[in-house]
Structure 1
Amino acid sequence: MSRRIDLLRLDYLFSVLIPLLVPIYLNGLNPFMQFDIIIGFFFLGITGNTWNDVFDMKNPEDSDTLQRVEGYRPKELFTIGLASFFLGFTLLLRTCLQNFPINFIFLVSIIIMVILYILWLKPIPIINQLFLAISHVILPYFIIKIDAPQALYFDIGELTFLLAFFLFAVMAQLVHEVIDEEAMRQHFSLRGCQIVIWIFSLLTLLFSIISFIFLLEFYFIPFLFVPLGTAYTFRRPKSTTKGVKDVGLVIGNLFLIYFLCLIILQMNGII
């Protein structure tokens, strides 16, 4: 039987948490004032992971999922996701009620978009990841901004960084699909996959540089190396090993720790 903790796929949750930490850092917010939002999305991330596995475990070729959920039935995974959903949704009620109806609309939109992705959009290349990045990056980012009135407005630096972050999220998911031979790999040749990933890598790099010029945040310099590394990895149209995906997951979690460190330093007036 799979280890219980593996069912939650906690190593993927950085993709849910970092979009909440970035606006907190850029706007100098106290993360404890939005702590219910952060943990709420943590629970919703677990829901998305487990419900996604409910559908992926039906695919006999998805060896990673089958190994992870070995010994469990779909209804048991669904129950874990449902429990996590109610915990997360309850924690998010405070911001939905205090900022009604905008944050409520955003939250419902996120839930609907993730469900649509799992049920219907996952096989559609590029569009599926644009859809997912909006639900994972843009809307959660806005929820944090709206919850803190002092952070309601965007300057050009923050706006360009948000766009760079959005493009980065799409790029990362496209790489994930190519490695796992999912939608991108099923509809495009290796050369086509390389071109698409290069386009998103260069766009991410371009908007990252622009945002860095406006924000003058040298702490964001490491972010510039991610699209460069991705472009280098796909410098030739060839199949990529599973190890590349694992490296991406590790780096994503390192960035999570990095942003937590920046926020703690900021809270204590050190930066």
Structure 2
Amino acid sequence: MNMLRTPAAVTAVLLLASCGGDDSAPAENAVSGTGSRPDQETRADVSARLVGIAARTDFLTVSTWHGETSSPLLPKFRASASCSGTTCTLDEPQTGLSASASLDDLNLDTSLPDAVPGRHGIDVLDARTESGRIRAGVMDHAAFVVDSDRAVIEGITVWARFSVAGGDLTRSRPTGSATWTGIMLGVPADASGRTDFLQGDAALTYDFAGSLDAVFSGIRNVTRNRDHSVASVRFDDVPVSADGTFAAGGTGDRIQGGFHGPGHAETAGVFERDGIVGAFGASRQ
């Protein structure tokens, strides 16, 4: 097998992620045990709000991509992602591959998602795309997504799982202390994440020292309607930069995000810990 075929496959997955696709398979709405409430807006309302957020977005953050391929040359991979503004670069260390894509490259097809029950005033969309399935949390100034992809390129099947968050940055630190509450969405980082989605609560607290504590709790496997093996995840003393962004940790064990909207109304980001690839969003209380 040509060694170049595997890098080509991983590059293609990056470009396929979140593109429009086939809505022939219905999305599931099982969220028992998460305390989720029925959505009060129509799918069209939430989708229109998502389009508006995308148009205003000036900051993206993307998790590590965790995945597998059908090629024996690259059975598993972890590709790190870094973003500048709304352009992100994916680096796969085993192959030396580097590929970039921007928010403008993505085809946001708002005819696809189904609205499923949200919580804490955050709406959740569920959609099947050409290359897999996504769950997205939609607020007023930010959105966050977990993505489980499958693509076949040049005869090689590639599975990838990752999360994305973005919005219009507040571009300053919060003043004083404050709390944001919302939800987390996630997928298992291992191969079970090809089919299973997770959901739980998110609580983030900022203090006078300029750091953030984040707790994700009540995590359930909403695909299988049962508690996830990891019930909670927390990050303590995450430093917040002067531009309102925050980050701590590295590949497989990290959190990154930012504050969005006037008055730091919302926060959104991505995290990886304890075998979960997640995204979160929360509103100021």
- Of Structure 1 and Structure 2, the greater strand share is in 2
Larger radius of gyration: 1
- Of Structure 1 and Structure 2, the greater helix share is in 1
